[in-house]
Amino acid sequence: MRRLLLACALLHGLPALAEEVVLGLSKEQVSINTNFDGSEILIFGAVKRENTIPDGAPLEVIVTVAGPSEPVTVRRKEKRFGIWVNVDAVEVDRAPSFYAVSSSTLLGLSISETEDQRHRVSIPRAIRSVGAPMNIMDSESFTDALIRIKSASDQYQLNEGTVSVDEQTLFRTAVELPAALTEGDYATRIFLTRGGDVVSQYETSIYVRKVGMERWLYALSRENAFLYGLMSLAIAIAAGWGASAVFTAFRR
């Protein structure tokens, strides 16, 4: 009992955070249907303070949006005897299906290397790759290749200078979600930094769900793969027969 009272007294004596995030989202759920071609999420908020704005380094804001993480195998190809073949492979333990990081200035100026390593804010830090086969000496190049491929399809985004901060109190930014989204919860984090140090952070989620026919087909493929395969085969046969019938009618 004494320990409990002591802990409560210590917690009561701790000072409140000087700056805290009050967040808002333009939408908390994204629905994927047959006509889905991407979406834009507006993230906005304010900084709650108990006192006046601290002197010194200006307030910077960093926003990250991360899709569900999964293992990814990255392969390296080389041309052997005129044919491109896989020669090496590295399995990345965990990589987000989508990752966007937006900052109010250059990311390197917004957060220090130590804080980046601690909170895994930058794109390379968000990817977890523990080890590689002994015969591969340049495992970092596989992670770089994954980032390059994902960035080319807008699955990974570095948006520096896109977070607007007004009077060190109000902030807002927009994150473009591409058409090829993985269903799941997209963790959204907001960091307030000063001089490269994180002074406050806030986390919420954006829910991405398939709806309508997309949802039904997705559930069928997971819950009854055999029936889904038969249906896909039947559709392919019907489409082939229909195309053949149309060509035959034109020839006549």
Beta carbons of 124 and 147 less than 8 angstroms apart: yes
Tell me how many degrees the CA angle 202-30-36 measures, rounded to the nearest 5. 145
Token pair for residue 48? Answer: 């709650």
Identify the CA nearest to 154 among candidates 175, 128, 185.
Answer: 175
Percent of the chain at pLDDT > 90 equals 32
Mean residue pLDDT across the chain = 78
Torsion, CA 142, CA 147, CA 152, CA 158, rounded to 10: -160
Q: Is 184 left (phi over 0), alpha (psi -120 to 50) or beta?
A: left
b/e map of 47-81 (b: 16 or more CB within 10 Å)? beeeeeeeeeeebbbbbbbbbebeebebeeeeeee
Give me the mean pLDDT over the 139-163 stretch.
Answer: 89
The token pair at 56 is: 């010194």
User: What does the alpha-carbon distance between residue 162 and residue 213 come to, in Å, rounded to a whole number?
Assistant: 36
pLDDT digits (tens, 9 = 90+) for 191-213: 999 999 999 999 998 888 765 55
Helix pair angle (225-251, 212-223), 10° resolution: 120
What distance in Å separates the CA atoms of residue 118 and residue 245, rounded to the nearest whole number? 63
Q: Note whether 49 and 22 are within 8 A (CB).
A: no
**pTM of whole model > 0.75?**
no
Residue 33's φ and ψ, nearest 5 degrees, are -125, -170
Q: Which fold has domain 19-210?
A: Immunoglobulin-like (2.60.40)
Q: Which tens digits make up the pLDDT trace of 4-54?
A: 343 444 344 434 457 888 877 776 777 665 556 678 888 988 998 887 887
Where is average pLDDT lowest: 4-13, 135-144, 181-190? Answer: 4-13
107, 160 Cβ separation under 8 angstroms? yes
Specify the pLDDT at position 11: 40
Determine the distance from the C-alpha atom of residue 69 to the mean position of all C-alpha atoms in its chain, rounded to a whole number. 8
In whole angstroms, give the CA distance from residue 108 to residue 217.
43
pLDDT of residue 13: 44
Q: HEC states along 146-205?
A: HHHHHHHCCCEEEEECCCEEECCCEEEEEEEECCCCCCEEEEEEEEEEECCEEEEEEEEE
Return the higher-pLDDT residue of 75 and 105.
105
Q: What is the pLDDT of residues 37-96, one digit of tens each?
A: 678 888 988 998 887 887 778 999 999 999 998 888 887 776 677 777 666 777 778 899
Phi, psi (deg, nearest 5) at residue 201: -145, 155
